[in-house]
Amino acid sequence: MTDEHPFARLNPDFIIDAVESSGLFSDARILELNSYENRVYQIGIEDADPVIAKFYRPDRWNIDQISEEHSFTQELYDHGLSVVAPLQINCSPWFRYKDFIVALFPRKGGRAPPIDDLNCLEVLGRFIGRMHNVGAAQPFQHRPNISTIEYGEQSRTFLLENKFIPLELEAAYESVTEHLIAMVNDRFSQTQVTSLRLHADCHMGNVLWRDEQPHFVDFDDARSGPAIQDLWMLLSGDETSRQQQMQSILKGYRDFRSFNPAELSLIEPLRTLRMMHHAAWLARRWDDPAFPRAFPFFNSQKFWSDHILELREQWAAIEAPSIALID
């Protein structure tokens, strides 16, 4: 019996053996890529382009949920959208090696999108509008919805029950999160939302820009929710900048799909849920040695004080008027 983390087994020999079990032959070149939830490597292949090997975190997603991620990306690809879908290995987008589920992807290059270019944002809007047309065609059967229960209530409960919040800050954390969860629930109950299949982690880090077009990667967090979830994380800067950016995104989006402007009022509630969920995600993964190395600031008195302050600021953000669109 060992307390060793499952990912500790992923030494170079194990990784190469896993890839070669698919029928490919590695030239033994391995480059670890920045990924914490899963483990992702670029693997050199003899007489061929490198592949990206993704080792899924054990016990996070079940095989039906992973299969839905893969089928969704393949569906998007089949509709002419530039997403990175997994390679078919023996007629399957995934395979098992020892205790891991593994998927191999083609390597795709690109650079960060020019986020200060409003024309770029309009192009991104067109792409997401097309993606949402595909996402709305049918629901996920196995992957979850974005919900206050998972992102808010369960995050809060985990942190409190596992004593991550310093004792002297517990009362403040309990109070602010209880109030915010109620506010978020109220806002969702007041807003008519159509749920569809989403990328759901649609920020600039998951977009590669090449040949003046976006190429979307990492559908690991794909789930169902409102369209605005795939739009708001593309915004940055002050209120005026965000308004201009959203205007450009929706200009492109509406070329392919209608958008309910009432969903703009969900931006700050969704941001609040993401903030709560992110803190709990770090806590849940703290036994993985990669996390203390990558996030050394986490779980300090200052971290939790700042987190509570940021959550308090969300009260006003939720109550403030949402982004106004110019007709």
| 174-233 pLDDT tens trace | 999 999 999 999 999 999 999 999 999 999 999 999 988 999 999 999 999 999 999 999
- Is 218 an annotated catalytic residue? yes
The two three-digit tokens of residue 77, written as one number? 């690809």
Domains parsed from the chain with CATH numbers = 10-106 (3.30.200.70), 118-319 (1.10.510.10)
Catalytic residue among 78, 201, 211, 327: 201
- 238 a catalytic residue: no
Q: Which of 218, 220, 230, 288 is catalytic?
A: 218
Distances, alpha carbon 217 to alpha carbons 103, 128, 177, 196, in Å = 14, 13, 32, 19
**Contact of 234 with 270, CB cutoff 8 Å:** no
For the residues 118-126, what does the mean pLDDT come to? 96
- State the pLDDT confidence band at 324, using cuts at 50, 70 and 90: confident
| pLDDT one-digit tens code per residue, 155-170 | 999 999 999 999 999 9
> What does pTM read for this prediction?
0.95
Pair type for strands 48-55 and 26-32: unpaired
